[in-house]
Structure 1
Amino acid sequence: MNEEVLKRYKHNSRMFFISYLFMGILSGIVNDTLITFLKQAQPTIVNSYTIYTGIATLLTAGLVAAIVKMGYKKILVAGGVVSIAGLILISFTRSWLSVSCITLVLILGLYLFDAVLPPFLTQYTTEEERDKVFSRTMYSNVAGMALASFTGGALIVWRFASRLGIAYDQAQALSTKTAEFTTVQNAAYISAHTDVFLIFVVIAVLGTIPLLLLREVKEDYAGHQDEKGKTKIDWRVLGNKYALLYLVYNGLIRFGASLIVPYFTIFLGTLGIDRATVSFLISLQTIAMVIFMMFSPWFSKKFGRVGAISLLSAISVPFMLIIGNGDKFGGMMVLAVGAGLFFRAGFMNAANPIVQSLPMEFVTKELRPAYSSVIFVSQAIVTILAGLFTAGFLFNENFLGDSGYRIAYYVTAVIYSIAIVILLTQFTRKFNRPQNENEEEVAS
């Protein structure tokens, strides 16, 4: 690699780092503020929120596949532009159809950055620098999410107080009783959310500008295609026992997480925790992700890859149940829920770097891109199924209603336990420790 190419690569990785930092802040707002906005403005949408995330994941997979023809720059800039448009448009419409489409657009815009990150940084980093650049970029993104989660709730309460003409403390206390809002209070609370969306349009713009400065050439992204110019997935990956079993394991984990993670802010609100405190607790769990991920290599070395994933997942289950039973702790509720959120997120995300790399051991090098695509699509399908389950039964007012948010933690605990058993019994002997020999052979 000559000096000029290396200079261009470093420039592009720096531009993506800056953009991804701002998009992390935007992710924090979407994951926190958008959920409570939908709960008040369009509750039917929030009950099926994971359907939207699933559809967005499928659309993202299609856009990522288009990189080989369009390039990284056009795809990423499009993600930034639709995020800006979504934040503006959602502030001026309340119809179900409009809010549904905008919600999908906002999720899609942010998911796109997460999906493009691995191939983009792999392309624009040297092997020696890759781990450091990956870690730094991911940590900065999560730190941005923590910042947004912390400030989002406070900004909502501030705007809520301003619109009602009351003190901040009064608005904060009132935000614990959203179910008892008058029509005027509900309108003010919804408008407070849209005020925050408009404030963060600036962040979306700042995240898009560096992408306009990317310097790419066709050789950076052009892939191998068939004679008709179409990129093909090699479905031989599904003939591998371990590749199939991992899809089952990953699907169970994804399904369980989809029942609780998108709805943290809503569930904590049903416990009577005020909106600003909810955002503070969510930001703490995001900080936990950063801290615990730093210890991922140690866990892997100490317990092996499969052992570390299984152990960390199992340890997270009791903390999950603490969150679900937070109101049982009386005056210590906020402390108990906060600790539960912190350690659940910490232990589960400590395993995340291992979870990302382990499945690539199940297939040969040339099949790894295809297997990554299959995993991505399977996650989308599972997420949509989870959304149908929550909308049709778990959170449906005709069945479990608000009590479903608590029951979801028990359901997820059972699902996680089943997934852990599958991982331990099927993968430990062959994949717990890296094998030096035959590393390019298909696991049979």
Structure 2
Amino acid sequence: MLRAITHVRSFTRDSRWFLVAATLWGFSFSVTWLLLNFLFEGLGFSQTMVGIANAVPNLVALILALPVARLSERTGYVRMMRMGAFAAGLGLLGLSLSHSIVPAMMSIFLIGLGGMAFWVVPSPLMTALEPQANRTYLFSAQFAANLVAGFFGSLAGGWLPSFFARIGGFDPKSLQAIQWTVMVAAVLYLITALPLWKLTEVRPAEPIGGKLWHIPRPARRIILILLVPNIFIGLGAGLIIPFLNIFVEGKFGVSFAALGAVFAWSQLGMAVAVMLQPIVAERFGKTASIVIVQTLSLPFIAMLGFSGSFAAVAIALFVRSALMNAANPIYAEFTMGQVKEAWRPSLAAAEAMVWTAGWTVGPLLSGWIRSKLGFGPGFAVLFVAMLILYGTGIAYTWFVLRPIENA
């Protein structure tokens, strides 16, 4: 841990302002994520429509990730992220004021568009902000900043509906309480743009020309090889993760405050694991460290899905989140290091597209399966599918990506 702190203290000024923006974004995102499905239900969405609403931002990412990444080469990475913060904030504000499906879906589209900039741009930006010795630690610090902010965001998301309910005289789980809370998150999304004005603009030294929807032909083979784990893990996550709040609340009937506390502590566990993961990567190698922590998470996924104890589920959620997500910044930094600088925005976009393809198909399948089988049997099938898909992605990392790292 002391080694990690030493590296963090040596970050450049731009890196530190970037981490401030990442922290604000993570806080706002966690407030939103905790309550979004309940907002949809309050608007009268069926379970199928809730699945569709969860899939819309991912569908936006699937279609527009590559154009946004390629456009950021020309506008500059920092400017693209500022535009993303404004788009997400305005979209979430519109969603908080919506009272029907059509304006809600339009707002969700705008949120997805803004979120896309914060997904595909940070990896190439961070690669440019720090030298090789610090790069893995910056990737981990960015992820950890999101998670620590997520800890407080989840607590705030659980507490704010009760706060607004006391002021307005309505139920903490009412649509009004949720809408007021989402408005707060919308304002915070807009504020995220402020620290980004402190950053020096960054562009690739030799940006690639051509159409915005095209990945450079020489880059396609290596990008495809690097993407395969995300195909399996993204689909597995898409089946369950967007609906974990519904699963826990529906199975145990807990309050929003208790639900927020559970997700908050899971975020904090992830933050600690993420900051320690670079040390594991230095000891065992990047891909081996990814396989180790992801494999250790599998028993806790099973516990999360099939335990009848709320305490056991809370512990499983905490450990699974910490282990599974500890690998994310290491994987991102590893893949960025396998391609040329000019290809990195395209790789980041392709990774986002593959991941969001899983998070587009996954919620749709999840909503359909639960509507056919019911709450308990539906989630049981989905957790089994998640375990199989995760195991396949982990095996690919070990047998295909590890030899690439060691070559």
CA distance in 1, matches of 2:291, 2:53: 28
Alignment partners' CA distance in 2, 1:147 and 1:367: 36
2:207 counterpart of 1:224: yes
Counterpart of 2:101 in structure 1 is 96
Which of 219, 238, 251 aligns to 1:258? It is 238
- How far apart are residue 371 of structure 1 and its match? 3.9
Residue 85 to residue 61, structure 1, CA distance change in 2 (3 Å): same
Partner-residue secondary structure (3-state), 2:121 = helix
Q: Does 1:25 align with 2:27?
A: yes
- Contact 2:124–2:336 under 8 Å retained in 1: no
| One of 48, 64, 71 as aligned partner of 2:69 | 64
Deviation at 1:408? Answer: 1.7
Look up the match of 1:195. 180
Taking a change above 3 Å as real, the CA distance of residues 307 and 159 of structure 1, as seen in their structure-2 partners, is same
What amino acid does structure 2 have at the position aligned with 1:74?
R
Matched AA of 1:54: N
* Pair 1:194–1:214, CA change in 2 (3 A): same
Give the length in aligned residue pairs.
392
Which amino acid in structure 2 is aligned with residue 90 of structure 1?
L
Alignment partner of 1:83 out of 73, 83, 88: 88
- Counterparts of 1:421 and 1:129, CA distance in 2: 29
Q: Deviations over 1:379-414 (max 9, x none)?
A: 2333322233224x223x3x1242323432121012
Q: 1:376 is matched with which residue?
A: 352
Bigger drift between 367-376 and 194-203 goes to 367-376
Cα distance change, pair 14–415 in 1 and its aligned pair in 2 (3 A):
closer
Correspondences of 1:13-412 after superposition (within 5 Å): 13-41=15-43, 42-43=45-46, 44-58=48-62, 59-127=64-132, 129-164=134-169, 189-216=174-201, 220-221=203-204, 223-226=206-209, 233-239=215-221, 244-271=224-251, 272-326=253-307, 328-329=308-309, 333=310, 335-360=311-336, 370-391=346-367, 393-395=368-370, 397=371, 399-403=372-376, 404-412=378-386
CA distance in structure 2 between the partners assigned to 1:46 and 1:163 by the alignment: 27
- Contact 1:153 1:279 survives alignment (8 Å): yes
Residues 398-444 of structure 1: CA deviation (Å, up to 9, x unaligned): x124232343212101221232333334444x24x644xxxxxxxxx
Q: Which amino acid aligns with 2:141?
A: R
Pair 1:367–1:342, CA change in 2 (3 A): same
**Residue aligned with 1:273, SS:** coil
Greater C-alpha radius of gyration = 1
Letter of the structure 1 residue corresponding to residue 216 of structure 2: D
State the distance in 2 between where 1:197 and 1:36 align: 11
1:169-208 deviations in whole A, cap 9, x for unaligned? Answer: xx5xxx5xxxxxxxxxxxxx11101111223344233212
Distance 2:381 2:213 in 1: 43
Q: Which runs of 5+ in 2 are unaligned?
A: 1-10
1:288–1:346 CA contact under 8 A, matched in 2: yes
Q: Following the alignment from structure 1 to structure 2, what is the Cα–Cα distance between the partners of residues 150 and 267?
A: 18
- Distance in 2, matches of 1:146 and 1:418, equals 30
CA distance in 2: counterparts of 1:48 and 1:61, whole angstroms: 22
Q: Which runs of 5+ in 1 are unaligned?
A: 1-8, 176-188, 436-444
Q: Which residue is 1:422 aligned to?
A: 396
Residues 1:223 and 1:32: Cα distance change in structure 2 (over 3 Å) = farther
- Contact 1:68–1:223 at 8 Å: present in 2 too? no
Q: Distance in 1 between matches of 2:83 and 2:178?
A: 25
Percent of residue pairs bearing the same amino acid type: 21
Matched residue, 2:3: none
In 2, Cα distance between equivalents of 1:213 and 1:367: 26
CA contact (8 A) 2:52 2:364 kept: yes
Letter in 2 for 1:78: M
Q: 1:364 to 1:318 in 2, by over 3 A?
A: same
Aligned Cα RMSD in Å? 2.9
The AA in structure 2 aligned to 1:153 is: G
Q: Deviations over 1:100-145 (max 9, x none)?
A: 1212322332342232212223334445554454443332222111
In structure 1, give the amino acid aligned to 2:325: N
Q: What one-letter code is carried by the residue in structure 2 that aligns with 1:151?
A: A
Give the superposition deviation at 1:294.
Answer: 2.1
Determine the C-alpha separation between the residues in 2 that align with 1:423 and 1:264: 26
User: Which is worse superposed, 373-382 or 316-325?
Assistant: 373-382
User: Displacement, 1:282?
Assistant: 0.6
